[in-house]
Copies of this chain bind each other. A is one copy, B any other.
Amino acid sequence: MAKQTGSIEPIHRRTLHGEVLPRLRDMIIEGVLEAGTRINETELCLKLGVSRTPLREAIKTLAGEGLIELVMSKGAVVRRFTRRDVANMLEVIKLFEIFAAKAACANATDAEIKAVALLHKAMVQEYKKRNRLGYYKLNQDIHSELVRLGGNPEIADLHSMIQARLKRIRYLGNQESTKWAGALAEHEEMMKALATRNGNALAEVMGRHMDQTLLRVSDTL
């Protein structure tokens, strides 16, 4: 290495560059920063223990992801989603998943399909344990994986971006057991269609599943 600065102390502070971005994102998703909150930069800097420069850069990135809104010479605001916004985003998700469903049935390997089935089994376990968080996480993973198997990374990226936006909403949504059971039943159907590589059937179920998801979510708003 170069530039022995004389001091022996090696690396006393883990800089680890992109640390603020995920932290801030989590704060928004988990609701630590409520929707509609005007972000005070200096204040947040103290909380995060970083300077304004990296924080502002993270804010710009999150604005690109649609989690934050930038108001000219007035700063950043945690984006607030209307019922309509959520419906629109779920519509996009639906488009992606229907497309991916067909493509995945056509192109995915047997191993990949098996991996999704395993995720599903794990999710069922979480359901039986009535562990909402674990269930939710695996649910997301299954949908993400299915879209990934569609073979179009652009779609996968956009899909996960919108999923991230919805995370905050769905995190809070306390669905009753009946609805929860319905969602699980749809997932069972999906797995059957995927196992038999019936693309049209899978697309149909996933479309229906997303429509139902909208209904399930929309009365929690």
Contacts and interface: CB of A to CB of B under 8 A. Distances in A.
Nearest to A61: B60
Q: Assembly of this chain: how many copies?
A: 2
Interface stretch (A87-95, A105-113, A125-133, A139-147): A87-95
Contact of A57 (B57, B85, B92, B152): B57
Contacts of A92: 152, 154-155, 158
Interface string A92-106: 100110010000000
A214 interface: no
Interface residues of A, number: 26
A195 interface: no
A38 interface: no
A18 B73 CA distance: 10
Interface in A38-68: 53, 56-57, 60-61, 63-65
Contacts of A64: 60-61, 63-65
A72 interface: yes
